[in-house]
Structure 1
């Protein structure tokens, strides 16, 4: 099988994917969830003309010539409207958030007054409309304020609460089953033999899934045994996405492939023209999408970023918008081969020019996690890209995992 271009591989992964069903959650449970239905305002906000300051509600025409004394006819604390009409020579003591009483069209802040019993002495003129939040200033009844596909953070939840919406309709979180396999692996905390390594990928991928709005389902660490792997794959049948890690070399030790064949799962592709991540595998089983990630930890996470993230976004009904910036290459790069390259880079600011510089790590081995943990982004080099001298403009995909 020839190497599949990244764009074609991603197209196949996303083809036919529909958003998951919606469910209702309380405001307290809505943080980080993706909205499934629009949220409309049920009334104007504020629902009345309101004072934005503590002071006195007056008629502006009464306080143009100062000092002037007005009679205080009522008081309006927040939540308690003064059911009076302000006439000539009158004022109402008012507080922030209180409804402006009928007849008043300005607020004199308390710092510009002196109070003597039922008389308030106004020391500075007031402008009509000053310090009054007019009805509907923030939003109007019927206005759509939160749209489907939005991720709900503190600002959106605060807004929803102000709309008197105690429950929000959101997309169900995608369940992502994660299966790691390999005789060479032991779990963190166990004592490895001198020919074994620590299994880290499933932990990083579980964090990735949670970070991007999903629920990780751990299928455990399985040995290089077709029966055990097939049983674990069957256990993950109900997940929306199944992730396998390693064991898919399409060679003598292709345990994942053998398990798929036993279960009647046909692989769509298993070689992609990218670095890292060439041995990426994709298959479908009913509604389920299956991604076979390489065993090298950098390859696994980079592939998750390129393929799993947009797949989860589509399941959640939201736009997947990774941030890409332009930068200047900080060092020379040789010409590229037939694979699209994702180079780990640090971003720095040139002290003289203020330009953003992209500095690739000197070694890009797909087993080197430290460089990925320290990287700010991935410099994308298309297949057969020519050699680039330092100072050349480059595109950098910012890492957010």
Structure 2
């Protein structure tokens, strides 16, 4: 692993990273965001070239071991790389995928050496799209009530049941599925985590059209689908623990990061384009000015807390308490920002399509609508508050005190 133990070593690594980026980063990709891997829009041209170069270097997953396709960097070195990429407007073309942010880290935690060699390198190269089969029509927040079953058929598992709100299932190659393997056990104790090939006759994914115009969520139907016996991740009937660990990785990935290749326009700049200013060049509406200032303060506090969480994570395998709080705060900040932006745009914030609106205006409006889902995805805003109350603040359960 590439360690950086002091500032001198970090600066030496930064110089190495700058030289490599200068030689390998296509200028045409400056400031371009990374497409979600499950969006169905595979990269082409310079975007594909950049993805291939990052994969060859292992820097798409910089902290993963080299033998599994990663860069073998320490957390501090990876942070330095991220900052150098942000400096030149480069985004990580592999990072925004469920395989990288959730499945891969969980395989690193629980997988056998053979499972890691099989599944991690294709994830690190961005070649395989993963989805996750968690929620069901009758098992949302109460996930332990899930009914999708995996029957032991001797030489394989046979999976039948339905999942819902499965992100990118219609583009996925593999799915990490929580299934019931012991119906007689207590509901938390009879669940297993099985990795399942989505490209087989017994699996059907049906996209769900969302209010923002996209269809990133799906219903998934398993009808006697097959999975190899060695695709069980972690212990049999230990899937509840494996699944919770994956959700910790998910929440850590959803906190947002102050270092990004493509930050949205500052809110104050958006305001100056759309709202009336006073003679001093300030937003004329004092109430809007106050709310915008408060939002900027919250964004700054969020960024500083992310930096603290990164510092706390050094040498600590488990996510800190800050990660749980950041999941809730990132949801509030993102949705409030979208609401303020659309409000300031006035009639231009009504654009859905057509020549009367700019591309940025249409993207903003659709993003505002699509952003309503982030208070549900990855665990609802309310459930996250319950987790903070019970596990961090040690507050009593409201149901037991009523």
TM-score, normalization by structure 1: 0.21
Larger radius of gyration: 1
Q: 1 or 2, which has the higher helix percentage?
A: 2
Q: 1 or 2, which has the higher strand percentage?
A: 1
